[in-house]
Amino acid sequence: MSPLRFTELLNRLFAGPVTALLQLLRIHPNRPQAPIPDHVAMQILVVLILTVLFVMIRARLSVENPGALQHTIEGVHGFVGQLGKEIIGHDYERYLPYLITLGLFIFFSNMLGLIPGLASPTAKPVVPLGCAVVTWVYYQYHGLRANGLIGYLKHFMGPVWWLAILMFPIEVFSHLARLMSLTVRLFANIFAGEMVTLVFFSLIPILFPVLFMGLHVFFGTIQTYIFVLLAAVYLGEATAHEH
């Protein structure tokens, strides 16, 4: 499969430095002349899009006359804020920047495949896995920060002390399984959506692909919501104080 145009551009500009950096880390790319794969290039593109988006919002920020873009982002902030307030509770504002950034990154990554010549990076399992690992580390860190080591370990012990020897390995396994569940749920839905859209577009290039593109938008939005919702749930559980 030939690389996407944007991937080719990045490799043309940065293949040398990227290959040198990878070799310094003892990683030897199969194609030193093109070490940047499509899913990495698409993630870079998403970051660039979000950076431009926020620069535009910051430049046009207004209290008296907010534009449509500002209203949209404020709506996103309010929605995620309400979600955090209901699920995380006390001190939820601390986690909003991460949850909003995570949601926007996943949403734009999911939608990128709708643009001809581009692809959704979340249709590659390594990208949802990366989001899952970062989220897992993030909520574990804040759980330790909020409760201390002993207090956080009590979350794994169960409600009564004599069940601790049974509950601890179950809880550890449950936390590790969250990495798999977050990854597979996001990857499988976006990959399937892209494949169905491509198949119907190749078979019936008029009308029907629009329907499946609409379904892709719907499921991509739902998967973004579910990922952020679960991240908030895990944060709420990790940072809750034992009484």
Encode pLDDT of 76-101 as tens digits. 999 999 999 999 988 899 999 999 99
Note the pLDDT tens digit of each residue in 51-64. Answer: 999 998 888 888 78
The stretch 187-192 carries a mean pLDDT of 89
Q: Give yes or no for residue 132 having a pLDDT over 50.
A: yes
The stretch 150-171 carries a mean pLDDT of 81
> Which pLDDT does position 242 carry in this prediction?
58
For the four alpha carbons of 82, 84, 86 and 89, in that order, the dihedral sign comes to negative
CA-CA distance, 158 to 160, in Å (whole number)?
6
Closest C-alpha to 80, from 97, 105, 58, 55: 97
- Long-range pairs of 138-143 with CB within 8 A, sequence gap ≥ 24: 138/98, 138/231, 138/235, 139/231, 139/234, 139/235, 139/237, 139/238, 139/239, 140/175, 140/238, 142/94, 142/95, 142/235, 142/238, 142/239, 143/237, 143/238, 143/239
Q: Who wins on pLDDT, 238 or 164? A: 238
In angstroms and rounded to an integer, the radius of gyration of the C-alpha atoms of the chain is 21
The stretch 152-180 carries a mean pLDDT of 84
Poorest-pLDDT segment among 87-91, 92-96, 127-131, 154-158:
154-158
> Which pLDDT does position 117 carry in this prediction?
85
The stretch 168-179 carries a mean pLDDT of 91
> Which pLDDT does position 70 carry in this prediction?
86
Note the pLDDT tens digit of each residue in 9-52. Answer: 999 999 999 999 999 999 888 888 999 999 999 999 999 999 99
Tokens standing for 85?
């307030």
Q: Give yes or no for residue 215 having a pLDDT over 70.
A: yes
> Which pLDDT does position 203 carry in this prediction?
66
> Which pLDDT does position 92 carry in this prediction?
92
Do residues 39 and 110 touch, judged by C-beta distance below 8 A?
no
The stretch 101-117 carries a mean pLDDT of 92
> Which pLDDT does position 208 carry in this prediction?
59
Q: Give yes or no for residue 243 having a pLDDT over 50.
A: no
CA-CA distance, 124 to 195, in Å (whole number)?
12
> Which pLDDT does position 202 carry in this prediction?
66
pLDDT band at 201 (very low <50, low <70, confident <90, very high): low
Q: Indicate the average pLDDT of the chain.
A: 88
The stretch 122-148 carries a mean pLDDT of 95
Report how far apart, in Å, the C-alpha atoms of 187 and of each of 98, 167, 171, 225, 235 are: 21, 30, 25, 14, 22
Do residues 18 and 35 touch, judged by C-beta distance below 8 A?
yes
